[in-house]
Structure 1
Amino acid sequence: MLIRKEHTVSGGLLGIWKMDESRDALLHLFPGHLRAEVMEYVNGVRSDRRAIEWLSTRIMLLDLLGKEQIIRNRDDGSPYLEDERPHISISHTKDYAAIMLHEFRPVGIDIEFRSERVKKIAGKFISDKEFIDPAQKTIHQLLHWSAKESLFKLINEQGIDFRQHLFIHPFTPILKGEIRATETKTDQSSSFSVYYEVHPDYVLTWTTG
């Protein structure tokens, strides 16, 4: 079910889908003339979760744009639309899928289910120079991870090391805000605004080029 559709301050279009339907229920949300083609693809997907993710993102895209668009994948796995516009970024987590679209600018989006597991891998993507609030350690670490995932999708460069090449400037987590981030992988060493939200089930981040 589409639970959110809104335009962002950067001119993008954001969508979030709650994946609470079955595979068959999602299939029946597609227009009749598309259903056979969609069913043919989904029948070849063994994982029920993967099939639901695939169906959810495509029916959400149809809802967001109000017209049919085909999602393709580049050799590195990043998505693009067959018509080449708008730019698209996609993310999945437990029970949710998210899409960001922008007509003129590249985008990156990430949605992460809230979990304590991030503590086990934090040292792999957070550098010693980055600030983590001890009073909000788990959510702060998760926001660092999610923000860097969004940046990774936006920059779309091979060989990015989250700890070495992506720096999150100090911030204190609130329910909704803006993070300043810098990448040092490219010659430009560009800085970005990453917008974030903290929800009971998940955190959400997105950015535009």
Structure 2
Amino acid sequence: MPLYKTLNPNSQTCVKIWKITESYDDLLKPLDLKPNSLERVLGMKSELHQRGFLSVRHLLRDFGYTDQDLFYDDNGKPHLKDEKYISITHSFTFSGVIISDKPIGIDIEMQRDKIGIIAKKFVDYEFNYLKKDSKDYIRKLTVIWGIKESLYKLFATPGMLFKEHFLVIPFALKDEKTIAWIDYNDKKYRYNTAFLEFEGFTCAYVIP
């Protein structure tokens, strides 16, 4: 079982990352999926997405849960029946799950040059400290996207915009952490964030 990494950012929170090396059949075989989960996975056109979906269920098993313990609300946010908080992500050959006693969010992204093309869609304040000619520019953009995606998953409020409502404080890649803010409807929320890089991917997560 390719459990790739386990992190414990605090005593109430655990992050698990899976490297997806198995075939679709090998991932599906040991799982007991709910009928609607099976319907979802069979309806996916991409085997990569199918394997990502199934690998998340393997991560749940590693936490001691099953697919039956997981459900989604009307905004598509995942929840656990025991009322612990959960956030889920998968990107190409990696998936990740974070579980905590408090609201959290997680995102994994492949580091790709094309993020530079769409930077203006999700970056505003952060341009004050980003340097486009830096060799770290794409990696830092990927961290910022991952943190903002994690914030969005945590808050799960329609109408929030990455560019306008989320701010990521200046950081160095070697620090593997920074602070982020949500500024929305005249209220400000402060979050601790962390990130790590591996095999051309970035994983970011947010904890209050």
State the TM-score, normalized to the length of structure 2. 0.87
Q: Is residue 168–residue 178 contact of structure 2 (8 Å, CA) maintained in 1?
A: yes
1:110 corresponds in structure 2 to: 107
Note closer, same or farther for the CA distance 1:5–1:124 as it changes in structure 2 (3 Å cut). same
**Unpaired stretches in structure 1, ≥5 consecutive residues:** none
Q: Is residue 27–residue 38 contact of structure 1 (8 Å, CA) maintained in 2?
A: no
Q: Give the whole-Å Cα distance in 1 for the aligned partners of 2:33 and 2:12.
A: 32
Structure 1 residue 89 and structure 2 residue 87: aligned? yes
Note closer, same or farther for the CA distance 1:137–1:10 as it changes in structure 2 (3 Å cut). farther
Shift of 1:65: 2.1
Among all aligned residue pairs of Structure 1 and Structure 2, give the percentage whose two residues are the same amino acid.
Answer: 25
Instruction: For residue 176 of structure 2, give the secondary structure of its aligned residue in structure 1.
Output: strand
Q: Deviations over 1:150-199 (max 9, x none)?
A: 1111122111111111111112222x521111111144311111111122
Shift of 1:44: 4.2
Which among 130, 133, 142 is matched to residue 132 of structure 1?
130
**Unpaired stretches in structure 2, ≥5 consecutive residues:** none
Greater than 4 Å deviation, 4+ residue runs: 35-40, 66-69
2:10 corresponds in structure 1 to: 9
Q: Give the whole-Å Cα distance in 2 for the aligned partners of 1:26 and 1:105.
A: 30
State the TM-score, normalized to the length of structure 1. 0.87
Instruction: For residue 190 of structure 1, give the secondary structure of its aligned residue in structure 2.
Output: strand
Instruction: For residue 163 of structure 2, give the secondary structure of its aligned residue in structure 1.
Output: helix
Q: Give the whole-Å Cα distance in 2 for the aligned partners of 1:89 and 1:190.
A: 19
Q: Give the whole-Å Cα distance in 1 for the aligned partners of 2:110 and 2:14.
A: 21
Q: Give the whole-Å Cα distance in 2 for the aligned partners of 1:114 and 1:123.
A: 17
Note closer, same or farther for the CA distance 1:187–1:40 as it changes in structure 2 (3 Å cut). same
